[in-house]
Amino acid sequence: MSLNGKHALVTGASRGIGRAIALRLAADGATVAVHYGSNKEAADRTVEEIRAKGGRAFAVRAELGAPSGIDDLFDGLAAGLAGGQLDILVNNAGGGGGGGSIEQLTPADTDRLFAVNVSAPLFITQRALPLLADGGRIVNISSCAPRIAAPSQVAYAMTKGALDVLTKTLAVQLGPRGITVNSVAPGATETEGMAAFLDANPGARAQMSAMTALGRMGQTADVADVVAFLASHDARWVTAAVIDVSGGSAISPAIGG
């Protein structure tokens, strides 16, 4: 699935799933803009690893959700692209975890969650459209949360449901340009942030593994490989899809019962 000559922007690419996506797209030949919010050291490590393997990458700093965030992102992207087009946009950056139950939610926390998980990818995509080549790819990193009624994730699930609506709407609007738009919906995935939770809760890994049909937690590469497929020519006839990449999480009452 060669991406030689392509340029990709991956938001939230310094760690976790975003980092794995950046590494995989670079391995397939793309030049990758590695976006980060505050952890410059982690972003630099991602760029250095890509370059050490013969790939091409550069880091871009922007605090999404801040007033100047999207301007900062596209100023850095323009400098790195040096006049080139963007071929692949991966809206991966997000946050909020469970967000809390309805009794625990606050207006400030919920506004922040929607700013990062909904408004940021919406307006990043808006700004990217003039740069995005016809036949390009947009991949939004969603979640299996909208499919699963989890009271502790109500606001988080709402944000990811909104992202899936954006995916389908943009797929229709951008279809005439040959641009495909898809969502990838992971479940519990072993990232750096998840590792701290698992270390503090010894039974959590077994519990989360039992919730999947495949009997294990997801790895970042499990998600990155699906994104790489969607970014490739092989996925040219896939658009408006929400692809579950959760190992079959909570699909049966027997799972995790």
- Label residue 257 by pLDDT band (50, 70, 90): very low
- Label residue 208 by pLDDT band (50, 70, 90): very high
Homologous superfamily assigned to 7-245: NAD(P)-binding Rossmann-like Domain (3.40.50.720)
Q: Mean pLDDT throughout 198-226?
A: 94
Q: Mean pLDDT throughout 187-216?
A: 90
255 pLDDT higher than 90: no
10-24 pLDDT per residue, tens: 999 999 999 999 999
pLDDT for position 150: 84
Q: To the nearest whole percent, how much of the chain has pLDDT over 70?
A: 96
Contact 14, 38 (CB under 8 A): no
Q: How far is CA 149 from the centre of its chain?
A: 21
51-78 pLDDT per residue, tens: 999 999 999 999 998 889 999 999 999 9
- Computed over every residue of the chain, the mean pLDDT equals 94
Provide φ and ψ at 75, rounded to 5°. -65, -45
Domain ranges across the chain: 7-245
List strands edge to edge, sheet with 31-36. 56-61, 31-36, 7-10, 86-91, 132-141, 180-186, 242-245
pLDDT for position 75: 97
30-39 pLDDT per residue, tens: 999 999 999 9
Provide φ and ψ at 20, rounded to 5°. -60, -40
Contact 199, 193 (CB under 8 A): no
pLDDT for position 9: 98
118-171 pLDDT per residue, tens: 999 999 999 999 999 999 999 999 999 999 988 888 999 999 999 999 999 999
Q: How far apart are CA 152 and CA 96, in angstroms?
A: 11
Q: How far apart are CA 116 and CA 118, in angstroms?
A: 6
Q: Which residue has the tokens 């790195």?
A: 80
Provide φ and ψ at 3, rounded to 5°. -115, 25
43 pLDDT higher than 80: yes
99 pLDDT higher than 70: no
pLDDT for position 202: 87
Widest CA span in the chain: 54
User: What are residue 7's DSSP bridge partners?
Assistant: 31
| Catalytic residue IDs | 156
DSSP state of 204: H
pLDDT for position 256: 52
Residue type, 106: T
